[in-house]
Amino acid sequence: MSDHTSEPAAAPDTSGLPGPVRLRVAPSPTGDPHVGTAYMSLFNLAFARQQGGRFLLRIEDTDRARFREDSEQQVFDTLRWLGLGWDEGPDVGGPCAPYRQSERLTTYRPYVERLLADGHAYRCWCSTERLAEMRADQQACKQPTGYDRLCLGKSEEERRALPGFSETPVVRMRVPDDVDLAFEDLIRGRLTAPRPDDQVILKADGFPTYHLAVVVDDHEMGITHVVRGEEWISSTPKHVLLYRWLGLTPPAFAHMPLLRNENKSKISKRKNPEARLTWFEEQGYLPEALVNFLGLLAYPPAQDADGNDVEVFGFEDFVARFDWREVNPVGPIFDLKKLDWLNGVHLRALEPQDFTSRLLPFLQRDGVLGAAPSLGELGRLEQVAALIQTRIAHLTEATELVAPFYVADDAVEVAADARAQLKDDAPAVLDAAADALAALPDEHEGLLGSEPTFRAEAIEAALRGAVVDGLGIKPKFAFGPLRTAVSGRRVSPPLFESMEILGKTSTLARLAALRATL
């Protein structure tokens, strides 16, 4: 094998690319985006922003067998939902376009030809059947699996004379026996990986494999730091080899720990719904809560003046204190209970109007409100939202609490568990409450423009007098039938405030409707 290396034809000058550092995330559009894409994007973007650099999104779509057309748009949508935007990419352009590997096929060929000419790569005509038999034999003999170099040094004619020939060859890199397997990692220090076999770098369909494409693209896009999961540690010596053979300067490497379940297994989309990035939006998580959560994975929280952990923070806080040396290489546990807690904290911190606007899409999705709600419906939603903001941990939980405020008074559906907890005194409670509320002034009795008089304070005083004092029922039991009548649920927003929002007429109608069924 020749030791000669030279630059590939028309090698790009990357010195003029913007940004003192350039980082990228490069997902494959093979299904719903993995939560790991957001995890990697957060750490890449944090460092890029801290250093005043650039963050790129590249779509690695060379796996045509698993390619899914809608997946790319899901990547765009979910990362933007999280606020993890990019400076260059397929949809925004940039100086290194195109940013889809399938649109860069002519880019890779000169690099392959240079590797072939320098003896660092060779064509392989082995059929898939022959390779499968080879691996089976190696496994049966308990040998390491890897290509046996049958095609190395043979012409097409020489190889054709042997069994297991395929008309369309692949190209393999020729890994030397004395390959250097050590490299420096920003997180883990000096690492040593297992010796690779002669990896395929160009497939029979003309598409490059990940190993070639990632080296070429990262070089041509001026990537200074490659941040990826620890599963790629074993591939890094191959990539360092390719950089060396092509006369290119390798980037710095940082291999992030993998996200793990509580049983320490790797999170997978096949087994874990939360591995799908789209799942979090569907389940009513706030994007800022998920970013906060991802920032706590593999990274220590800040501490306040008293030495207490500060676990609630925003993206800018994370950027300000980011340091690769602080990343914990041990695989973090993906604790959904922690995420639920964070989501509740972030929900309660929203401004009322913001919280209301976040609820609206979920209420529309569930049919509580239409596509174009009226001003009156939106006004009522603001009132109801104020009652439930401290009572939910996910936006999806709002539907059950809000829906009773948008149904006809005679159409309130009483849940089975709510009806089952009604006691024998429920009719008396409903009758006494109805009489007490009927005696209150109407909503706007008095001068035009006066304050409404059917208010929570007056409602509470009237009901306590009629039910607690009048019937002698303990407060914790007194209002169950009224809650059921108003909302149809055992658990609802605060009762007296709910009655105020509904108004006197609707409240009395709902009490009467439940009373009629007892």
- Reading phi first (left if > 0) and then psi (alpha if -120 to 50, else beta), residue 250 is in beta
DSSP assignment letter at 309: E
- Which residue has better confidence, 437 or 274? 437
Looking at residue 98, its amino acid is: P
Task: Please state whether beta strands 165-173 and 121-126 pair in parallel, antiparallel, or not at all (unpaired).
Answer: antiparallel
Confidence at residue 400, expressed as pLDDT on a 0 to 100 scale: 95
Confidence at residue 100, expressed as pLDDT on a 0 to 100 scale: 94
Look-up of token digits 């030809």: 113
Confidence at residue 32, expressed as pLDDT on a 0 to 100 scale: 86
Evaluate whether 26 touches 58 at the Cβ level (below 8 Å).
yes
CA atoms within 13 A on the CB side of 436: 21
Band the pLDDT of 15: cuts 50, 70, 90.
low
Q: What are the tens digits of pLDDT across the range 257-308?
A: 999 988 888 887 777 888 899 999 999 999 999 999 999 999 999 999 999 9
Considering the domain 105-256 in this protein, what is its CATH number? Answer: 3.40.50.620
Residues 442, 512: Cα–Cα separation, whole Å: 17
- Residues of the chain with pLDDT > 70: what percent? 95
CATH class of the domain at 350-406: mainly alpha
DSSP assignment letter at 442: P
DSSP assignment letter at 325: G
Q: Is the confidence at residue 10, as pLDDT, over 60?
A: no
Q: Is the confidence at residue 448, as pLDDT, over 60?
A: no
Listed range (29-43, 58-72, 81-95, 234-248) with the worst mean pLDDT:
58-72
Evaluate whether 345 touches 311 at the Cβ level (below 8 Å).
no
List strands edge to edge, sheet with 200-202. Answer: 121-126, 165-173, 200-202
Confidence at residue 8, expressed as pLDDT on a 0 to 100 scale: 38
Q: Is the confidence at residue 63, as pLDDT, over 90?
A: no
Evaluate whether 475 touches 468 at the Cβ level (below 8 Å).
yes
| Start-to-end Cα distance in the chain | 92
Every domain of the chain and the residues it spans = 105-256, 350-406, 409-515
Q: What are the tens digits of pLDDT across the range 415-436?
A: 999 999 999 999 999 999 999 9
Mean pLDDT score, 468-478? 90
Three-state SS letters, 39-75:
HHHHHHHHHHHHCCCEEEECECCCCCCCCCCCHHHHH
* Torsion of Cα atoms, 171 then 175 then 181 then 187, to 10°: -10
For the annotated binding site for ATP, the residues are 269
Mean pLDDT score, 340-349? 97
Evaluate whether 185 touches 225 at the Cβ level (below 8 Å).
no
Q: Which of 238, 269, 423, 476 is catalytic?
A: 269
Q: Is the confidence at residue 1, as pLDDT, over 60?
A: no
Evaluate whether 45 touches 294 at the Cβ level (below 8 Å).
no
Distances (CA, A) of 259 to 109, 175, 212, 272: 36, 31, 26, 12
DSSP assignment letter at 448: T
Residues 409, 74: Cα–Cα separation, whole Å: 41
**Interior angle at CA 397, CA 396 and CA 400, nearest 5:** 110
Residues 496, 500: Cα–Cα separation, whole Å: 6
The answer to whether 154 is a known catalytic residue is: no
CA atoms within 13 A on the CB side of 413: 7
Three-state SS letters, 260-277:
ECCCCCECCCCCCHHHEH
Band the pLDDT of 452: cuts 50, 70, 90.
low
Q: What are the tens digits of pLDDT across the range 364-394?
A: 999 999 999 999 999 999 999 999 999 999 9
Burial of 323 (0-12, 13-18, 19+ CB in 10 A): exposed
Considering the domain 409-515 in this protein, what is its CATH number? Answer: 1.10.10.350
Confidence at residue 30, expressed as pLDDT on a 0 to 100 scale: 84
Residues 101, 114: Cα–Cα separation, whole Å: 20
The predicted model scores a pTM of 0.89
Query: Residue 291: enclosing H or E segment and its boundaries?
Result: helix 287-296
Look-up of token digits 């040593």: 192
For the annotated binding site, the residues are 269
Q: Write b or e for each residue in 11-33: b if 16 or more Cβ atoms lie within 10 A of its Cβ, otherwise e.
A: bbebeebebebbbbbbbbbbebb
